[in-house]
A and B are shown apart, each in its own frame.
Chain A
Amino acid sequence: MLRTKLSLALLVALIPSLGLATERQVVTVWGLSAGPDAKGTEAVVREFERRNPDLKVRALRMGAGEMNPQKLMTSIVGGAPPDIINQDRFSLSDWASRGAFRPLDDLVERDRDTDPTTPTPDQYYEAAWKETQFEGKTYGIPTGADDRILYWNRTVFQESAAELRAAGLDPGRPPRTWSETLAYSRVLTKRDAQGNLVRAGFIPNFGNSWLYLFAFQNEASFMSADGRRCTLSSKEAEEALQFMVDGYKLLGGYDAAQKFSSGFLGNENDPFVIGKIAMKIDGDWILSTLSRYAPNLDFGVAPPPVPDDRYARQGRFAGVEPTFVTWIGGFSYAIPEGAKNVEGAWRFIKFATSLEARMIDNQAQAEWDRIRGREFVPRISAHIATNETMLKEFRPRNPNYRAALAMHVELASAGRIRPPSVVGQVLWDEHVKAIESACRLEASPADALRKGQAVVQRELDAHYRYETLPRFDFRGPVIGAAVVIVGLLGAFLLYVRRLNLGRLAREEAKWAFILVSPWLIGFLVFTAGPMVASLIFSFTQYNVLSEPRWVGVENYAALFTTERENLLKAFGNVFYLAGLGVPLGIVSSLGIALLLNTAVAGIKTYRTVFYLPSIVPVVAGAVLWGWVLTPDASKGLVNSAWMATVTQWLGVQPPGWLTVADWAKPALIVMGLWGAGGGMILWLAGLKGVPATLYEAANIDGANGNRQFWSITLPMLSPIVFFNVVTGFIGAIQEFDRVWVLRGGGGTAGPSDSLLVPVVHLFVNGFTYFKLGFASALAWLVFSVILGLTFLQFKIAPRWVHYEADK
């Protein structure tokens, strides 16, 4: 007995120590570059784990750090975030303002005197550090710094030397001003006999420039100094956008350029490497790719071309220093609010951003590249000491790379940052939309920017207004709901008592309620409760992280005022998809069913082939069709077939499908038609149900096959047509999966929002921006549209739907 007790006690004593010995705390990091060629990161992680045996680092990509932060935000709000996120710096303040990140100042303060590796402002470029600040707090520790410079392909310039000279341009140097850039691009752009681009001189938004770079060069600012006013639509930004528009015009338009670039491949077939584009503006990340896949490429670098006046230092720019400016960005480590292991995260951040770790990173990467015979080109850091040491120790041998690296470091000091703002993400999304609509000539640059500015300003106002809004007391509705439920229950019990049921009937009712209870509970918890909650939220401004505030009917008003355009677009897209897709689907599936219904041999095999596509998982189908519809005829199945037939016969070039706005929806419809087999099965079942006697009678009356179809088959099948139309429209309004997979990255849904559908808009507002109030109002709009549509269809139905039972 004693021995058992003793051994038990021993066991109990052992358990914690065992736990300590075996269980290492995990630090989860999202957005670290992982993979075969990210040796540096791997080395840093390994060294950190060696020095901190109690910690284990878990690096996941999770699509984090990218332009759409849906996953990160959902995880933070859901209370299960990673411990560290490697986040694009410009969006830090935006999410920090909603309480998504933990301020790091207390940790910095605590450690700065005791630990020399503690990051402090003086170690970083001012611009980079400034980007991590919001309302006086530090939300991230900068990692890299990337500024944009102009890359030009010397070989391409030399090939066209004579033409360039004829146009009065020097083939030995790149353009310095905007007008020179356009002039060079005009000469260097080449087309084939059909007028398709085979080389683009300069695609304004290829590489990485966006409007930000050109606007910074033109001294535009995007926000007022106090951050309360958006100044996206300034004359300076307008001129910059006009430059981009002109750049696309000379390529034959934005869509032509998009289609051309959809055929671009990476690595050794990079368009810049193989001379498909002569110049591009890009960041230092391309150097390691170039050194790996095209080490002998003869390229040059230069500061990005600036406005003519700026170069000439005249007009507005008289006395403005420096002549060349660029745009600088980069990532930083941040700790999400609610992270489980803050201490471990902070230890990792401190280590990973120290000079020592950054050198371990470079060293490991250099070693890796050296063994493979590649030239190692270090990445620029936001950490000043790192850059200094790096330039000394890891200078590239190849003069082209050396020059490029030097140019990047030199221009870094002339870098401008996107203003830290609570609406950074919206500003970014709106600026992308403005670029697209202006470059596609849908709106003038001024109008496009003005529209974007209005949206951003609205977000700003909403943010700063939040504090002044009345608090919303949840107790009222909750008590109200409780009273209503208790009242209903009481009334029901009274009603039951009045019924005066017998013993057996009471027993039966008891069991019935027990059996129905799963649905009843589910209804209350997952349907009725959420509906009431959704209704309440729709009258508030609420982002989950801070408490809801009452705004009245404002969210509903927004549906019809500020958001009107987006919603018109979203519902317009849906009605386009349904209006064309549903009838086409009905006709094609009915056609197949009629063919199959003729009792030919092998019907089962045929049926299987036609039916299979409709049960392919939606995501898999979307991924598959994304590839099948690749515009580049050397890869895409559809366009390859198109080139072999239609282009051969009529000379019509294949469309750009999902890459161009006009064809994105037809692409989705084509995808939908592939799934026509589902409808076919319905038709087949329906056709079997048409009584043969009707046809016999018709035969006797001398009606031919055509007549029989229109007078017997179709009316008898009209309930199925009706069913298909109703479910088709309801399904289309709830379209989400395919669009989410195919919409491409960024804040837009397809080119120029051509795939924006209501549920995607709702999802983005709900789970990316966490504007729960607005999203709830939108949900109710979607609901009422579906309801209205269904009602309408049921109203019209008696006019054309034939129900046998009615007779």
Chain B
Amino acid sequence: MGEWVQGGAALLYWVGIVVAFRGLWLAFQAWLGAPGVDRSIRARGAAVSCSAGVLCVLVGSSVTRTWGLDLPVAWPVLPLPAWLAAGCLLVAVVALGRGLLSALPTERTPRLVSAAGWAGVGALCLVWAQQQNEPFKVLTGKIALTPGAAVAALAIAVVAILTMIAAARSASAHARSKTFVTHLALLAGCFVFGIPFVWLLLTSFKEDRDMASPEGIVWVPRVQQTVPFISDKNPYFEAVYNGQRVEANLEQRKADGTMILAVVRPVGLSGYTFEVEPGQAKQIPREVPLVDVTMDGQKVRGKVVEELEDGGRRVRAIEPAPFAGREQVFPADQVEPYRPVSLRWKNYTEALEFLPPETQFGLVYLRNTVFLVVMNVIGTLLSCALVAYAFARLKFPGKDALFNVLLATMMLPGAVTILPQFLIFKNLGWVNTLQPLWVPAFFAGAFNVFMLRQFFKQIPFELEDAAKIDGCSYLRTFWSVMVPQIKPALVVIAIWTFIGAWNNFMGPLIYVNTPELMPIAYAVQMFNGERFGEPGLLMAFVTMGMLPVLALFAFAQRYFIEGVALSGLGGR
């Protein structure tokens, strides 16, 4: 029971704050307004509101024991039906109030009836909630008012009151205050909607060690700085493996001088070993980490020239000058890596290097996707426009019946036909090819036909007649007269088809079995399965996968937005 009292007190506290604010607002109005009856009423209202508000706050905080320094918060934990009941009862109370207050009896009765109805539904919900056997609870806590938060709250209050004053002064200021509030709300919304993007981008630039931290998300990406260093103890080579330029560690040097190298980069080949003649591999500098250490009680920056078996690091100092060149071995915990704020672009190149070699660093995925998108767009535009033109402008027997069939197929979910379609494509020998993913586009989708038909219908008949008189064939009329008239609609359909083809996931999941044929959407899922432990690379790959769509939006924003209006909304 105590928690309900606490929760109620917290509610009272907040009601008090709102009421007190209203009091202040009235007071300002009274102060600014002209003297008269109105003014005295306002002043009285202000006094009542303020004192009631302060009283509420005092009572609330005395019960919750949060004397001004903390803000009490409370949250009821209820099963779903109890929430429904609360909602119904609230509506019922409002209806009841309105019913009792309404002047006309003709208005009163239906309101009272609806209040009773809502109350009944609420009661039923309450009974249902009782049967759920889940506890009703109130959680209480407090928001600690740190000095920073207190200052911010105060500032907001001052700004709010100032805008209220300004708003009261003039109509244009009123508009300005409204704009201010709107911007505030929009910015808050943008923050919520944008933060996953920000997180995605930042994660794609972070080092692995920053992926998880007990203090919460790491928002500032830092990158270990390195310097090139040629080490004879641990040499690094550039060589050619399977026709590809690779960087490799020395694994073993044989007596006859041939070396066994282990690939380090590209990352996709990392770990593969191969033998080379001494002349075929060129020693190149290795990137070694920069670290901060303490030498003779002074902070020194140096490079790690050797990593010892026991985890120790041999560090060669670089700066300041007097220490330069000095070498010393430090245990691992005394070496502070030098990681200035920076972006790790390597995540992107490494993500691509990780892909199977036959995908040419993901270019094959891109090629497949682009191919599918292009074919789908061409197929859809061509077939849909032709069919829509015939349905809109030509007369032929059975037209209405066929058009009704077309409308009916719009209702059909894809789920019904995927299985038999799979069998069709299997019998055509098209499994593990891209055909099943683009050929159907050449056979006119119902929704697009329907939409384009509306557009063709709006074109005046005079144009067509003129073409006919000039002796144009139907195809010629279609191409030279009709198509130019519906270009905006075609662009919109092209964009929708683009996005649909780019995102198609179930299709490749069924039909594609080799990396050479994978489009990006499927590759992202495979990448997710195989590189789950490396969020940096995964997020880099995800970013690359969505970039083209976002780029399309940037270029064709107008059509995206207009497309909605063009579609006629109720079209479906």
CB distance from B359 to the nearest CB of A (A): 11
CA gap between A487 and B419 in the complex, in Å: 28
Q: Mark A477-518, 1 if CB is under 8 A from B, else 0.
A: 000000000000000100110010100010011011101101
Q: Min CB distance, A804 to chain B, in Å?
A: 11
- The 8 A CB mask of A68-89 against B (1 = contact, 0 = none) is 0011001101111110000000
In whole angstroms, what is the CA distance A511 to B143 when docked? 75
Chain B residue nearest to A652 in the complex (CB): B139
Interface residue? B521 (CB, 8 A): yes
Query: B570, A42: Cβ atoms under 8 Å?
Result: no
Interchain CB contact (< 8 A) of A515 among B386, B426, B429, B553: B386
Asked whether any CB of chain A lies closer than 8 Å to the CB of B67, the reply is no
Interface flags for A720-760 (1: CB within 8 Å of B; 0: not) read 10010011001001101100110000000000000000110
Could you tell me the dominant secondary structure of chain A's interface residues? helix
Return B378 CB to nearest CB of chain A, in Å.
13
A648 to B397, CA, bound (A): 73
Interface string of A46-81 (1 = CB under 8 A from B): 000000000000001111000000110011011111
- In the complex, which of the residues B387, B415, B419, B524 contacts A734, with contact meaning CB atoms closer than 8 Å? B415
The closest CB in chain A to the CB of B189 belongs to A592
Chain A CB within 10 Å, residue with most, of B197, B309, B509? B509
Which residues from chain A contact B502 at a C-beta distance below 8 Å?
617
A-B contact count (CB 8 A): 342
- Report which of B514, B538, B560 forms a contact with A615, defined as CB distance below 8 A: B560
A521 touches B443 (CB 8 A): yes
With a cutoff of 8 Å between Cβ atoms, the chain A residues found around residue B252 in the complex are 371
Contact of B421 among A505, A526, A623, A626 (CB under 8 A): A526
Query: For A342, what are the chain B residues with a Cβ–Cβ distance below 8 Å?
Result: none
Which of B140, B217, B419, B443 has the most CB atoms of chain A within a 10 A radius of its CB? B419
CB distance from A794 to the nearest CB of B (A): 11
**Contacts of B362-420 to chain A: CB distance below 8 A:** 383, 386-387, 389-391, 394-399, 402, 405-406, 409, 411-420
A43 to B, closest residue via Cβ: B273
- Is residue B228 within 8 Å, beta carbon to beta carbon, of the partner chain? no
Q: Is A613 an interface residue (CB 8 A)?
A: yes
Residues of B contacting A62 with CB < 8 Å? 513, 526
Chain B residue nearest to A682 in the complex (CB) = B564
- What is the CB-to-nearest-CB distance from B191 to chain A, in angstroms, rounded to a whole number? 9
Instruction: Output the nearest chain B residue to A496 by Cβ-Cβ distance.
Output: B397
Also in contact, A600 and B179, with CB within 8 A (given A75-B431, A80-B513, A530-B420): yes
Q: Among residues 515 to 530 in chain B, which have CB atoms less than 8 Å away from a CB atom of chain A?
A: 515, 520-522, 524-526, 528-530
Could you tell me which residues of chain A, from 541 to 598, have a CB within 8 Å of some CB in chain B?
A: 544, 592, 595-596, 598
CB contacts (< 8 Å) of B526 on chain A: these are 62-63
> Chain B interface: which size bin?
35 or more
CA A766 – CA B217 in complex, angstroms? 41
Stretch in contact with the other chain, from B114-122, B280-288, B544-552: B544-552
Whole-angstrom distance between the alpha carbons of A457 and B90 in the complex?
52
Partner of B406 from the list A36, A519, A616, A643 (CB cut-off 8 Å) is A519
Bound-complex Cα distance A741 to B506 (A): 11
Question: Please, how many angstroms separate the alpha-carbon atoms of A596 and B561 in the complex?
Answer: 14
For the complex formed, measure the closest distance between the CB of A489 and the CB atoms of chain B, giving whole angstroms. Answer: 11
> How many of chain A's residues touch chain B, expressed as a range?
35 or more
Closest chain-A Cβ to B174's Cβ sits at a distance in Å of 12
Main secondary structure of the interface of B (DSSP, over half): helix
Task: Indicate if the CB atoms of B139 and A650 lie closer than 8 Å.
Answer: yes
**By the criterion CB–CB under 8 Å, are B569 and A782 in contact?**
no
Q: Does B195 contact A (CB under 8 A)?
A: yes
Check if A628 is an interface residue, CB within 8 A of chain B.
yes
Select the residue from A598, A682, A726 with max chain B CB neighbours within 10 A.
A598
**A-contact 0/1 string along B71-87, CB 8 Å cutoff:** 00111000000000000
Of the A-B pairs whose beta carbons lie under 8 Å apart in the complex, a sample of 23, sorted by A's number, is A267-B533, A516-B396, A518-B444, A522-B440, A523-B409, A525-B443, A526-B440, A531-B416, A608-B557, A609-B194, A611-B560, A611-B561, A615-B499, A616-B550, A617-B502, A674-B193, A684-B561, A685-B569, A719-B569, A734-B414, A740-B506, A779-B415, A787-B411
A sample of 20 more A-B contacts (CB under 8 A), given A511-B475, A624-B542, is: A39-B273, A42-B271, A78-B425, A492-B397, A512-B390, A526-B417, A530-B417, A531-B412, A533-B423, A534-B416, A615-B553, A617-B503, A624-B539, A634-B216, A650-B141, A719-B570, A740-B505, A779-B418, A782-B415, A783-B413
Chain B residues with a Cβ under 8 A of chain A = 73-75, 139-144, 178-179, 182-183, 185-186, 189-190, 193-197, 199-200, 203, 211-217, 251-252, 262, 270-273, 309, 356, 383, 386-387, 389-391, 394-399, 402, 405-406, 409, 411-426, 429, 431-432, 440, 442-444, 446, 449, 474-475, 478, 499, 502-503, 505-506, 509-511, 513-515, 520-522, 524-526, 528-530, 533, 535, 538-539, 542, 545-546, 549-550, 553, 557, 560-561, 564-565, 569-570, 572
Nearest 5 interchain pairs by C-beta: A522-B443, A78-B431, A36-B271, A530-B420, A80-B432
